[in-house]
Chain A
Amino acid sequence: MRELTREFIKFFVSLKLTVALLALSALLVFFATIDQVHLGIWAVQEKWFRSFIVLQDIQGYPLPIFPGGYFIGGLLLINLVATHLKRFALTWKKAGIQLVHGGLILLLLGELFTGLFQEEYQVSLKEGETSNHAVSWRFNELAVADTTAPDRDIVTVIPESLLAHDEAVQVPALPFRIVPRAYYPNAALAQKEQLPAGQLTVPNLANAGLGPRFAVTPMRVTYDPQKKNWPAAFVDVVSAEGLIGTYLVSTMLIESETFTYAGRQWRIGLRPERSYQPYSLTLLKVTHDVYPGSDIPKNFSSRLRINRPDGSEDREVLIYMNNPLRHEGLTYYQYQMDAANANTVLQVVRNPSWLIPYISCLLMTVGLLLQFGQHLVGFIRKRAARPVATTAAAPAA
């Protein structure tokens, strides 16, 4: 048994494993890059990097074709940590290497945390518009709002992922259940009378609101980072007394469906996931500069006003290329601009681990400088001590 344990440890601390894992990583990154031509960047990340096994659809069957990023990265991490634990010694000579690898461990962990915790949203504003929330580009939610009170809505949101299951959603905030009947991750909606001839549709289950007027055609899910998926679903709203109605919800529908139950007004609709902030942003001005005598863009910038309803904050900020606004854990970047229509799109990112790469960069740089600096000094000393023809002592590891 002890023999086995020793073999086990030997395997995990071996440089052979390191080299093999480095080779696998290089291949993984290469294949994933090539795959970006067919899949969008998001799909590639899910398929190759944020997975343990890379599955490839071959004639309809998902077959494992390569170890995934979590697998290789995880082994690398174990290999790194194990090696350092086994050989750890606090000496100047080893300090460089240890710093480099410590930084690397931090970097790998940081990337893992980013993958797990990073949230991305967008804010699209026209000049003069104000918004207190950002919307997701990729994720959607089913919003059920109680609009009875004239001055406020009480909104309950259900993530899109729950619509994909057949199970009823019951939450204390709602006096009824939501039962998904059919869900399409990407679907085109058309008025029934305007449906192009020959276009196939799925059975329309809706029996209330505007839903019955539409024809729903499921579409292939797009991975193109420039394009959006437009999910649609049919949901039953079921109360203790029975079915209130079956509604069609889709991000393509701008207006939500409305109904009345138990004397209260309700609204139901699918919309991009929102992230509300305790402050609002007003777009004051967009600027798109080009170099004189050319159409090469020189700069894009958006001037905004941050305002808090309680009056504790009211100031102007300027966001432009390479100069984001960091505000309360969120970072706003200039993303797209349509200067002709005075419209700007800001990318909003919440990444709690954003500082980690900076720290690991510092550690690794210091480590590498220390390590190779020692080599260089040793090398120069040796050279100085010996005649020219036979010198050139290589820096030993």
Chain B
Amino acid sequence: MKKILPLLVLALGLLYLGSTLVPPRVPTGTPDYVAFGRLPVLVGGRIKPLDTVARTTLLQLQGRQTVRLADGTPLTPSQWIADLLLSDKKSNDYQVFEILHPDVLALLKLSEESGAGKKRFSYNQLVPGLTELERQSQLAQPIEAQRRTRFQSEIIRLRDNIGLYVRLQASLVPPDLDDPLKALTDFQTTLPAGIDAVRLRQQKLPHDEATANRVMELAGRFDFMAQNAYLLPIPPADTEKDDTAWQRTGAVLLNTFQTGAIEAHALSYAGLAYAWRGQKAGEFNTITRLLRAELDKRYADRLDKVDAETRYKAAAPFYSGMVIFVATLLLAIFSWLKFPDVLARSAYYLLGLGFLLMTVGIATRMWLEGRPPVTNLYSSALFVAWGSVGLCLILEKIHPRGLASAVGGIIGFSGLIIAHHLSLSGDTLEMMRAVLDSNFWLATHVVIITIGYSATYLAGFLAALYILRGVFTSSLDRETGVALERMVYGITCFATLFSLVGTILGGIWADQSWGRFWGWDPKENGALIIVLWNALILHARWGKLTGPRGLMALAVFGNIVTSWSWFGTNLLGVGLHSYGFTDRGFWALIIFAAVQLILIALATLPGLRWRSAAAV
């Protein structure tokens, strides 16, 4: 039993992960929206599946990836984007716009009750208030993003979200047409007559007014698409050498005036719209398959990535990771109370599984992006969690007491939660801005400094565990106490090494790209404070200026220092590193810091007041 149970837990975990890998299927006889979601488009500098566009857009609009209709039917992201891009405005009734500020609701004359979950509204619900929304956003626009009130930020956010939605909608087929396929084919067959009519009208000669109007009206729609569409779904012609020269549908439709024939991809998308609107599964699936096959000729390797990305997003490894880490934490905590060996070993196995899962997840991201692991704030959260969990595995191997496993579970889970919140701002596989576009420095400075964060957090969380168990339970025996102390000390050494080397490498990068080694930029200062703080802990211990409880208090304060460096400096809104972080994060940071201060206060309680007084 002792040997079997941990293996059983591991098998259960594997089974759970395996279940997330089952590819989603579409019931036979319905259009294959999963295959549609795997079609590639170029947007934001890279080729990605429509499914990813759907997921990131939904996260941005409403903070979650699934859509629930009024009658409770759930829609997958691919289904939603098929409705958005192909149907005749069916999606305008889906409640996907999240509005969190009561004043914005009041401005748009909406009540909480009319929204899904009291906060999500449909495009059609917003339409009556669009003029007012635009007026308010013009008032808020000139104000610097950091100085806007919450109302102003929400107004701007909603305006941008609506803009994104409308731009998306104009991506594949001309909007506001009952049957785009028929409109386009008619346009093609009557094009010479149409052009003649327009030319005659311009020359003020007798002409067919209706034909001229129809042509002009369609040209207007094409032009709108060419100017505004969010996606670039039309691959470059075979004669074009530049692989990235994808085009907007509107642009190639406007080209029809020169070529006389509608571009094949544009026509295929109109065909898809026709089939989707009539739910004609056979035609829809055939067109999708042909489109894919055609793209496969030139973009085979890119389509492999597109498919992998779709599977990766559907499997949501980091969501399963949260589940695994919570289970690890619970098993580890129970191991302190009962069946220490069996449960601690089970927790250890699960932690290992979680680590493996994150490794695969991060490696997939690296392969998709062709970049080192940390490229933005989102991936830094993943990597911090990964690094801490990895260190916990080593610690648990050395001291198999369920201590490091518990901390690994907490940090893994928290890191993934933070990453989830950071993913709400858009595509997490975004392109790197010019100055960051250096794989060498991303792979060295950024990775090393992020491991420094991991280690500093780990020391802090281990110390927090020491304090909590020591003050509130009598379970902290002498041996456990000593083990924790050694772990905290060892990890602090590790943290010093990485944060120091990482910081200096950052200085060298700065010297390479801005001409100064050190500029006292907030982010640089934040990293420096981590180094100083870790050095302080080590010197305090070497000089025997602090006992175990003091060491723990210092290590817990390291959590505040690291969070400040990681996120706090972005809040200042100055300096070269001040990229995206919102005021939602601000309060989370304040609360986190307050909790750490309470822990430090607890640590300073006299030893006799600790329930595990004997150990300290």
Contact = CB atoms under 8 A, between A and B. Distances in A.
A372 B490 CA distance: 9
A208 interface: no
A257 interface: no
A372 B496 CA distance: 10
A397 interface: yes
A300 B434 contact: yes
A109 to B, nearest CB: 13
A292 B244 contact: yes
Contact of B539 (A22, A292, A369, A388): A22
Interface residues of A, number: 64
Contacts of A294: 43-45, 431
Given A293-B246, A322-B437, A357-B511, A16 B545 contact: yes
Contacts of B543: 14-16, 18-19
B516 A36 contact: no
A36 B44 contact: no
B519 A41 contact: yes
Contacts of A33: 520, 522, 525-526, 569, 572
Nearest to A332: B515
A159 interface: no
A394 B45 contact: no
Interface of B (DSSP majority class)? helix
Interface string A315-332: 000000110100000010
Nearest to B430: A296
B489 to A, nearest CB: 6
Contacts of B525: 29-30, 32-33
Nearest to A14: B543
Nearest to A289: B434
Contacts of A18: 539, 543
A32 B520 contact: yes
B511 A354 contact: yes
B515 A120 contact: yes
Contact of B520 (A19, A49, A298): A49
Nearest to A41: B520
A297 B434 contact: yes
A238 B134 CA distance: 63
A322 B520 contact: no
Contact of B528 (A15, A29, A347): A29
Interface in A293-308: 293-294, 296-300
A322 B232 contact: no
Contacts of B514: 333, 347
A292 B433 contact: no
B564 to A, nearest CB: 8
A383 B245 CA distance: 61
Nearest to B441: A322
A23 B557 CA distance: 12
Interface string B536-552: 10111111010000000
A141 B457 CA distance: 51
A141 B528 CA distance: 36
Interface stretch (B27-35, B116-124, B363-371, B501-509): B501-509
Nearest to B505: A361
A354 B514 CA distance: 12
A375 B520 CA distance: 33
B147 to A, nearest CB: 11
Given A22-B532, A45-B520, A375-B493, A321 B542 contact: no
Given A15-B545, A41-B521, A392 B572 contact: no
Nearest to A357: B517
A37 interface: yes
Contact of A372 (B435, B494, B522, B528): B494
A391 B398 CA distance: 9
Contacts of B493: 372, 375, 395
Interface in B591-613: none
Contacts of A357: 504, 507-508, 511, 517-518
A61 interface: no
Interface of B: 42-46, 232, 244-246, 398-400, 430-431, 433-435, 437-438, 441, 482-483, 485-486, 489-490, 493-494, 496-497, 500-501, 504-505, 507-509, 511-522, 525-526, 528-529, 532-533, 535-536, 538-543, 545, 561, 564, 569, 572-575
7 contacts: A29-B525, A111-B518, A114-B518, A296-B45, A298-B431, A349-B516, A392-B483
Given A19-B543, A114-B518, A321-B438, 17 more contacts: A15-B543, A16-B545, A19-B536, A30-B564, A32-B525, A33-B522, A36-B574, A111-B517, A118-B516, A291-B431, A292-B232, A293-B42, A293-B43, A293-B244, A324-B513, A347-B514, A372-B493
Interface of A: 14-16, 18-19, 22-23, 25-26, 29-30, 32-34, 36-37, 41, 44-45, 49, 107, 110-111, 114, 118, 120, 290-294, 296-300, 321-322, 324, 331, 333, 347-349, 351, 354, 357-358, 360-361, 364-365, 368-369, 372, 375, 383, 388, 391-395, 397
